[in-house]
Amino acid sequence: MKKILLPAIVLLAVVGLTYFLLRPKTAATSSAPAPAKDGPKEMVWIPGGAFKMGSDDPMAWAEERPAHDARVKGFWMDIHEVTNAEFAEFVKATGYVTDAEKAPTLEEIMAQVPPGTPPPDPKDLVPGALVFHMAATAVPLNDMRNWWSWKHGADWRHPEGPESDISGKENHPVVQVSWNDAQAYAKWANKRLPTEAEWEFAARGGLAGKNFVWGDEMPSDTKVYANTWQGKFPVENTKQDGYERTAPVSSYKPNGYGLYDMAGNVWEWCQDWYDKELYQKLPAGSVQDNPQGPSKSNDPDQPYTPLRVQKGGSFLCHDSYCWRYRPSARQSSSPESGMSHVGFRCVKNADR
């Protein structure tokens, strides 16, 4: 499937966006020196070590539990999300065409919907992607179709639809990129996507027992630590942080490892398949050594759609609805799907 579209199955695409309120507890990590004095450009060394992955907090959802011991090896990580300018350089060098720029086929769509789902109208088999739109009035928060819609012509160059563009936003994170697109970029850059364990370890920034990537201070509409929503979601955005949608990368203070935007701005793709029940299947007392994720996708709520992990929250997160800007928060989406609040960053092994 090239991407999710069609009114009948838009809900399938956005079910994976369910937001949870979490209070993850971090653990102290061991440190390993960087393998070289001067590392790759615009990357920082993440020393690796042991930590508590997931959360046992009362507000954590089932897929976050139980918190368990994990270890990761040291690695290099991009200090910020991949920008429009960086992605444009990749496209110019390779001629790459993103999933959002390709028309899906009927067969690809029908493979990811329940049996008996009516086929889409042929006129909808055109390139496009999901775009956030402000609701005109207060709406129920249990139906994301109230603020997400499919737009023909939405892609990384036109993130909000064909009438939009990225002029003046060269230093903003690229969005409307699928997991497949992120993989292609990473390969071209001689990097890779982070595993979920690597991403979570890095997001914690070496802090022990802190609820957020910046510490314990509770964010609010006036105390802003990341590019998130201020106001009443999804009908009013006061833009207290200065941004209605994405912010330029590195606009906020970095975490303890020197990484920017590990909370808010855009969700970030990880390498792993998403298994909603993964942590519950782990042997009690075991230590997961450099985990690479499950061998296949598993989500009882979306049994027909293979899913990959996303981490970090986005500019849509608000404490009245979405507290997903915490290190242990997890979300998933189809590898072919592009959305206007999803991007990525890359990592690189120590020996590469």
- Summarised one tens digit per residue, pLDDT across range 9-30 is 343 343 343 333 333 333 334 5
Positive or negative: CA dihedral 156, 160, 166, 168: negative
Task: Report which secondary-structure segment, H or E, holds 197.
Answer: helix 196-204
pLDDT of 208 reads 66
pLDDT tens, residue by residue, 295-309:
999 999 999 999 999
pLDDT of 40 reads 92
This prediction has a pTM of: 0.88
Task: Report which secondary-structure segment, H or E, holds 52.
Answer: strand 49-53
Cβ atoms of residues 103 and 6 within 8 Å = no
DSSP reduced 3-state for 83: strand
Q: Could you say which residues of the chain have pLDDT below 50?
A: 1-29
Integer angstrom CA distances of residue 158 from 22, 131, 154, 167, 260: 33, 10, 5, 10, 24
pLDDT of 147 reads 82
Residue reference for tokens 């390993």: 32
pLDDT of 142 reads 78
Question: Residue 200's closest CA among 27, 333, 341, 338?
Answer: 27
Task: Report which secondary-structure segment, H or E, holds 232.
Answer: strand 231-232
pLDDT of 141 reads 82
Question: Residue 340, Cα to own-chain centre: how many angstroms?
Answer: 11
Cβ atoms of residues 290 and 72 within 8 Å = yes
Distance CA 120, CA 33 (A): 54
Distance CA 237, CA 122 (A): 36
Which class in CATH covers the domain with range 1-352? alpha beta
pLDDT of 234 reads 86
What is the maximal distance between C-alpha atoms in the chain? 59
Integer angstrom CA distances of residue 206 from 127, 196, 210, 314: 42, 16, 10, 22
pLDDT of 118 reads 85
